[in-house]
Amino acid sequence: MFRAVIFATFAAATALTGAARAQVPVSAPEKQIAVSYPDLDISHRAGAAELITRMHAAAAQACGPAPDIRQLAPSRAYRQCISDAVARGVADVNAPVVTELFLDSANPGLAVAAR
- Of 1, 14, 24, the C-alpha closest to 62 is 14
Residue 16 confidence (pLDDT) = 36
Residues 54 and 110: their CA atoms lie apart, in Å, by 24
Higher-confidence position of 28 and 35: 35
Residue 6 confidence class, pLDDT cut points 50, 70, 90: low
pLDDT at residue 5 greater than cutoff 70: no
For 44-66, b where at least 16 C-beta lie within 10 A, e where not — what string? eeebbbbbbebbbebbbebbbee
Residue 27 confidence class, pLDDT cut points 50, 70, 90: very low
Instruction: Record the pTM.
Output: 0.71
Residues 106 and 99: their CA atoms lie apart, in Å, by 10
Residue 35 confidence (pLDDT) = 92
- Per-residue pLDDT tens digits for 36-80: 999 999 999 999 999 999 999 999 999 989 999 899 999 999 999
Residue 70 buriedness (CB in 10 A; 0-12 / 13-18 / 19+): exposed
Number of helical (H) and strand (E) elements in the chain, helices listed first:
5, 2
Element (H, E) at 25: none
What percentage of the chain carries pLDDT values higher than 90?
57
